[in-house]
Amino acid sequence: MAKIIGGVTTSHIPAVGNAISDGVTQEHYWKRFFDGYQPVHAWLDEKKPDVIIVVYNDHGLNFFLDKAPTFAIGCADQYENADEGWGLKPTAPFTGDAQFSWHLAESLIEQEFDMCTCQEMLVDHGFVNPVRVLYGDHEHWPVKTIPLAVNTVQHPLPSAKRCFKLGQALKQAIESYPEDINVAVVGTGGMSHQLQGERAGIIDVDYDLACMDSVINDPAWFYNQSNAEIIEKAGTEGIETIMWLVMRGALGDKVNCLHKHYHAPISNTGAGVLLLEAADE
Ligand code: DHB
Ligand code: FE
Cβ of 193 below 6 Å from ligand 1: yes
What is the CATH number for 139?
A: 3.40.830.10
Report the atom number in ligand 1 closest to the C-alpha of 269.
10
User: Is 70 in contact with 253 (CB distance < 8 Å)?
Assistant: no
Q: Is the CB of 11 under 6 A from ligand 1?
A: no
d(C-alpha 161, C-alpha 222), whole Å: 8
CB 211 within 8 Å of CB 9: no
Residue 193 known to be catalytic: yes
User: pLDDT class for 281, splitting at 50, 70, 90?
Assistant: low
| pLDDT score, position 85 | 66
Least distant ligand from the CA of 152? 2
pLDDT tens for 146-166 read 999 999 999 999 999 999 999
Structural domain boundaries enclosing 211: 3-278
Summarised one tens digit per residue, pLDDT across range 89-105 is: 788 999 999 999 999 99
Average pLDDT, the chain: 96
Which among 12, 193, 261, 263 is annotated as catalytic? 193
- Number of domains observed in the structure of the chain: 1
Q: What is the pLDDT of residue 84?
A: 67
Does residue 262 have a pLDDT over 90? yes
pTM above 0.85, yes or no: yes
Which of 125, 138, 140, 155 is flagged as catalytic? 125
